[in-house]
């Protein structure tokens, strides 16, 4: 089977009140011949990228057309845990433990155990594995959320884990999100397969272990752990 769009464990903007699980056994997600950043991804939670109008609706628009000015905190949310397991097949772009903007109130787990690959050779970017959400930067600065909201609550997860057992990751591996926060602990287990670039215990552009600030109590409650047991990494390995 081939899916030219993206695969989500949650809803487009709706809510999953318990756990979400994505299991891929074969086939392809995305079109390897036509790179597009928002297609060809696998997400453990929902999309949540539609925006609502915080004030008046402009002419030519409707209340629910998704083209507003503010993100909805609970759009695409998974209230339980989210699990993504790639047991076969190929993913043209990225794999995320949580959603595009959708948060996971519980923990996320991503396992790559495929004879195929994550990413496409020669693509301008992509081919990465993230333990948490894609998210978006500068939500407050760009007025994309209500002024009273904490941006760290958007696209967040409690704990995240990534396990690479088999297959080729053509980009890098991140224990955290691209721009989505991990509040608690992060675990990266590298048992097999190949990573073409680097491995990071933390996120690409996002913070991890944020539930307690440095020096606060209880100290060192949440840690980031990276265990290299068998994976071949072409680039570097970073604990954070």
Reported as a single tens digit per residue, the pLDDT across 22-40 is 999 999 999 877 777 789 9
Work out the average pLDDT over 76-100. 96
Q: Considering only 7-16, 101-110, 134-143, 162-171, which range has the smallest mean pLDDT?
A: 134-143
CB 175, CB 123: distance < 8 Å:
no
Model pTM score = 0.92
* 8 confidence band (pLDDT: 50, 70, 90): very high
CB 146, CB 140: distance < 8 Å:
no
Structure tokens at 87: 């047991």
The per-residue pLDDT for 191 is 97
The per-residue pLDDT for 144 is 87
CB 102, CB 82: distance < 8 Å:
no
The per-residue pLDDT for 152 is 83
Q: What do you get for the CA distance between the two ends of the chain, in Å? A: 37
**What are the angstrom distances between the C-alpha of 99 and each of 16, 105, 172, 226?**
12, 11, 18, 23
What's the pLDDT tens digit per position in 165-192? Answer: 999 999 999 999 999 999 999 999 999 9
CB 80, CB 106: distance < 8 Å:
yes
The per-residue pLDDT for 116 is 94
Structure tokens at 121: 């050779």
């Amino acid at each position: 089977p081939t899916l030219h769009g993206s695969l989500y464990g949650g809803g487009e903007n709706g809510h999953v009140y318990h756990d979400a699980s994505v299991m891929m056994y074969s086939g392809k997600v995305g079109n390897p011949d036509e790179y597009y950043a928002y297609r060809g991804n696998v997400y453990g939670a929902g999309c949540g990228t539609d925006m609502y109008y915080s004030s008046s609706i402009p002419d030519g628009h409707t209340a629910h057309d998704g083209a507003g000015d503010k993100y909805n905190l609970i759009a695409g949310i998974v209230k339980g845990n989210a699990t993504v397991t790639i047991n076969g097949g190929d993913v043209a772009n990225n794999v995320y433990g949580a959603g595009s903007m959708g948060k996971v109130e519980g923990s996320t787990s991503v396992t790559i155990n495929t004879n195929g690959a994550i990413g496409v050779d020669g693509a301008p970017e992509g081919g990465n594995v993230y333990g948490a959400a894609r998210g978006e930067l500068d939500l407050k600065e760009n007025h994309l959320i209500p002024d009273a909201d904490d941006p760290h609550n958007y696209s967040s997860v409690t704990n995240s884990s990534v396990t690479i057992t088999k297959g080729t990751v053509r980009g890098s591996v991140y224990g955290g999100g691209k721009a989505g926060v991990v509040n608690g602990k992060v675990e990266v287990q590298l048992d097999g397969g190949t990573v073409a670039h680097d491995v990071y215990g933390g996120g690409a552009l996002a913070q991890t272990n944020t539930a307690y600030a440095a020096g606060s109590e209880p100290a060192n409650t949440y840690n980031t752990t990276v265990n290299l047991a068998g994976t071949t990494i072409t680039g570097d390995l970073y604990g954070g």
